[in-house]
Amino acid sequence: MKMPTVTVIVLLLSGCAGDYRFNSNLDSDAINDYFKASDVTVFEGKLSPQGQYEVLGLVEGESCQIKPNDVPAAISDARTQARRAAADKQANGLIIKRCALFEEADQGCISRALCVGQAIKMAKPEAK
């Protein structure tokens, strides 16, 4: 009676043993690209960078609502796209110059948000 029970348990446990691999559709480069905007500090309105910085160039971001049932364009999405563009220029800061939301259909967008700013490279604070 013990022998069939032990055999069944061994067979069940051996079914769990094996060379299993985890495959994911996540790409490490895509993850780095997704989070690179978080490395860029945004300065907008009365908030301005402290200390010295170098202007790397102008960048822009856009959000576009293509279909009527799509999410409406948002300035926050356009700002994030501008942060990504700044990160592509190796910037660690972004001075937003102007953002605008257009709610009338134009250039293939039902609604559209645009942000323009300067990508900057700020000096990193010295560690003590």
Please tell me the pTM assigned to this model: 0.72
* pLDDT band at residue 96 under the 50/70/90 scheme: very high
Q: Is the pLDDT of residue 14 over 90?
A: no
- Beta partners for residue 32, in sequence order: none
Residue 43 is predicted with a pLDDT of 94
Mean of the pLDDT values across residues 54-82? 95
Sign of the alpha-carbon torsion through 107, 109, 111, 112? negative
| Coil vs helix vs strand at 104 | coil
Which burial class, exposed, middle or buried, applies to 101 when counting CB atoms under 10 A from its CB (0-12, 13-18, 19+)? middle
Quick: pLDDT tens for 99-108.
Answer: 999 988 887 8
95 CB-near residues (< 8 Å, 6+ apart) = 43, 44, 48, 49, 117, 118, 120
Q: For residue 59, which amino acid is it?
A: V
Quick: pLDDT tens for 36-56.
Answer: 778 899 998 888 898 899 999
* pLDDT band at residue 123 under the 50/70/90 scheme: confident
- Of the ranges 26-35, 54-63, 66-75, which one carries the lowest mean pLDDT score? 26-35
